[in-house]
Structure 1
């Protein structure tokens, strides 16, 4: 980075990066799991899985909000030499760094189906839904405050890709038009880019 600039990744994109793989791994594991009766039987397994889905989504969506809020209060403006990382690069980097954890979670969800059909898959899908909900919450805060939140890439690397981990000291901010991701981390629509 020239002249002291930093590489910056969008906070909401990092949070959202795990949502889709967890959701789809969970859905596939739950679908496969429902084919086996397991130890508890399908009905109990699916009902337990539904309860686990709700609990996992709530815990994942609510966990760390205070830390995100604290970091969001002291936002320093991004400098002109800072490099804003593309959404696709942020997502790809996060998923590459966590691919083995995702695979282990998927295999664990499949293995859990031997005891309670679909329960492990629905738990994993709930974590994915919770991450999506958390990213949407960050997006609402970004719209309210009219600022997009960014985190230094080197701080992310130090703490396993967690945008609110201990290594993260502060966020940087830009206007809502910066970067190629909308508030909340979703892709910008082409019409919005053209406007």
Structure 2
């Protein structure tokens, strides 16, 4: 079989067209300096497909943007933080979008329900559990534990799909709670132990 120059020339031409077209190439976004696929424009500060979108929830005040001093203070070429790397499985997933708003609403309801106990100085795990069940959480959804003489801790399985967890403490000074979406190594609200 004899190969012609036209066939080889055609393959070369196709390769050149693909390279010139920039299939899959990226360019710097003029507005934000980030990379975007060629031919698309992403305004600075907006989410791209696949990124979680957050917005102000009802009753939430806009917080000023604060740059992270920790990332700025790490010198270039510094060794990796192996403690953080090895304990990352204990860092809970944050909530985003409507799930974040649902979490903030749950935290607010919980703090309001526990405020009368806090004001009375009642830090009984049994009374805390009863107050949380009184706002609609079932017996299997509420865990409480003594956190010292004048403190009680709690963990609430506030939602199943998606997973919504609320963990916090109540003491003489205040009630503090945070909502999150479980942990990386298991679909549960309880903090995993062990690891690597």
TM-score normalized by the length of structure 2: 0.23
- In terms of fraction of residues, the more strand-rich structure is 2
TM-score normalized by the length of structure 1: 0.23
Q: Quick check: which has more Rg, 1 or 2?
A: 2
Between 1 and 2, higher relative CO (CA 8 Å, sep ≥ 6) is seen in 1
- In terms of fraction of residues, the more helix-rich structure is 1
